[in-house]
Amino acid sequence: MVGGMTGQGSLTEYLEGFDELINDERTGKTFGEIVRGIINAGSLVCQRIAAHSRILSKAKEAGQRVSRFATGESTKRSEVDAEHLAAKLRERGVAQLAESDSDELWLIADPSDLRKPYAQEMENLMQVRDLDGKLVPGYRTLNVLGVTQGRRGILYHRLFTSEAEDFLSEPWEVQRALKTVSQAVRSLQERRPVSWIVDRGFDDVAVWRTIWEQQEHVVCRVFHTERLVAYQRLDEQWQNGDLAAARGHLRPMASTRTEMVVRRGRQKKMRQRVTVEIRACPLQLTYDTGVRREREGGQAEKDLWLVEVEVLNATMKPWLIITDWPVTDAESAVRILRMYRQRWAVEDSFKFTKDVLGWEEVQLLDFEGIRTLVALAWVAAGFLYELGVSLEWEEVRFLARLGGWAERKGNRPGKIVLTRGLRRIADMLATQAFLEDYREEHGTLPPKIAAWLGEPPPPEL
């Protein structure tokens, strides 16, 4: 690991899973040091990555060594580009999920923008939206996490742009992700049902159609309330109309207390106990199986449920969710709430990779190099996800406490705390290595530094 932690949870052991992609010792060593450097530096700036690696920091033009690795200049005999790294992450993610005895597998998909508002020379920049909704230069990514009880695995990552030669369309990118992940988890699907839990950007019949053809389920937040359906009225008669009209026929299904990060009145967002009311009604959707396909399709029907989730006395608007899971009683209604809340795990991982690993700091001009460096950040994230699988591991508790975590009931350490603990160890080891090198070269530390460290003064000659 950073500095050599051994046993379960070792970074060295984790990186061995990528050995198949590497065909020479120098590339393997550089690969490991770059991942360490990303974790330690919390940045995708090549110079910072190198500076936070004990080995790379000693090399001349250390930052150039990182950039040459990312652009493929120094890795021609290996397969450490973005596509192969993502495939290896997917393979490892499936293996992680297979270890769980959970009776369900949830696939949480979401796009995320990599924003470069001040960039001009980076290759193939497209327009994306910043947090205020303004258009800025950047790239798009599509990511999928697999979630079971106690396990989380990265199953898909791809950075793309409409300006690249290999770009077809964003719907095509989504279809590629759906099919790639479904094929990867086929062995897991034999033992447990698979559900895609997605946000409003996936409110698309073409998306749902593909998921259903893969014998998987949908839990999707609604964007298009004008979508035409048949809905069951309160008198149990069926009526043709749109989702907006169907909301008038929702039945109370459950009221539950839970903890959520919400805002009440003028207060800031904070985690607090809230009351959630859930309402639902049956739907029937008629759709064309050939939508957004070159070949002709036919008409198909699907039984669905419209679910509304309202947090009482909070400023957030109610969630409106479509699912093909039956919602017929309080238990099944609360289950849909629990499933959709798991989608926040993706938001957490995006915040983690962006803020803690600094993926928006990437500054390479070469587009394929950008892809590879961002994929390397996901390799680093994958290690930290695995590290936090179980609080029972002594190493995890140690890192969490070193990162400032206070152990108490219900307080689980997050990725930021674990990463802070890792960095403190890395800083300590880097300092020790520097001190040892200085002593070897000069015989002793400068007197005032030695005194500050509590070391005895050197003997007088």
pLDDT at 409: 66
pLDDT tens per residue across all 461 residues of the chain: 333 333 334 788 899 999 999 999 999 999 999 999 998 888 899 999 999 888 898 888 889 999 999 999 999 999 999 999 999 999 999 999 999 888 999 999 988 899 999 998 999 999 999 988 899 999 999 999 998 887 888 999 999 999 999 899 999 999 999 999 999 999 999 889 999 999 999 999 999 999 999 999 999 999 999 999 999 999 999 999 999 999 999 999 999 998 887 888 777 777 788 999 999 999 999 999 998 888 888 999 999 999 999 999 888 899 999 999 999 999 999 999 999 988 876 676 667 667 778 888 898 999 999 999 999 999 988 887 776 544 445 666 777 788 888 877 666 676 677 777 777 877 776 777 778 888 888 888 898 888 888 887 766 65
d(CA 292, CA 277): 37
pLDDT at 390: 46
Of the candidates 331, 303, 336, the residue with the CA atom closest to the CA atom of residue 321:
336
pLDDT at 349: 64
SS (H, E, C) the chain: CCCCCCCCCCHHHHHHHHHHHCCCHHHHHHHHHHHHHHHHHCCCCHHHHHHCCCCHHHCCCHHHHHHHHHHCCCCCCCCCCHHHHHHHHHHHHHHHHHCCCCCCEEEEEEEEEEECCCCCCCCCCEEEECCCCCEEEEEEEEEEEEEECCEEEEEEEEEECCCCCCCCCHHHHHHHHHHHHHHHCHHHHCCCCEEEEECHHHCCHHHHHHHHHCCCEEEEECCCCCCEEEEECCCCCEEEEEHHHHHHHCEEEEEEEEEEEECCCCCCCEEEEEEEEEEEEEEEEEEECCCCCCCCCCEEEEEEEEEEEEECCCCCCCEEEEECCCCCCHHHHHHHHHHHHHCHHHHHHHHHHHHHCCHHHCCCCCHHHHHHHHHHHHHHHHHHHHHCCCCCCHHHHHHHHHCCCCCCCCCCCCHHHHHHHHHHHHHHHHHHHHHHHHHHHHCCCCHHHHHHCCCCCCCCC
pLDDT at 271: 75
pLDDT at 455: 80
d(CA 419, CA 272): 26
Q: In terms of DSSP bridges, do strands 217-221 and 228-232 run parallel, antiparallel, or are they unpaired?
A: unpaired
Report the chain's terminal Cα–Cα distance, integer Å: 42
pLDDT tens column, 383-401 = 877 765 444 456 667 777 8
d(CA 39, CA 3): 12
pLDDT tens column, 100-119 = 888 999 999 988 899 999 99
The two structure tokens encoding residue 150: 């106690």
Of the candidates 102, 106, 352, the residue with the CA atom closest to the CA atom of residue 220:
106
Confirm if 188 and 105 have CB atoms less than 8 A apart. Answer: yes
Whole-prediction pTM: 0.85
- Sign of the torsion formed by the C-alpha atoms of 45, 51, 55 and 58: positive
Tell me, rounded to whole angstroms, the distance of Cα 155 from its chain centroid: 9
Q: Which residues contact 400 (CB under 8 A, 6 or more apart)?
A: 391, 407, 413, 417, 418, 421
pLDDT at 350: 67
d(CA 328, CA 358): 44
d(CA 439, CA 457): 13
Would you list the domain boundaries of the chain?
A: 11-78+353-418, 224-325
d(CA 30, CA 79): 13
∠ CA 375-181-340, nearest 5°, is: 95
b vs e for 160-182, b when ≥16 Cβ sit within 10 Å of the residue's Cβ? bbeebeeeeeeeebbbebbebbb
Of the candidates 203, 222, 310, the residue with the CA atom closest to the CA atom of residue 262:
310
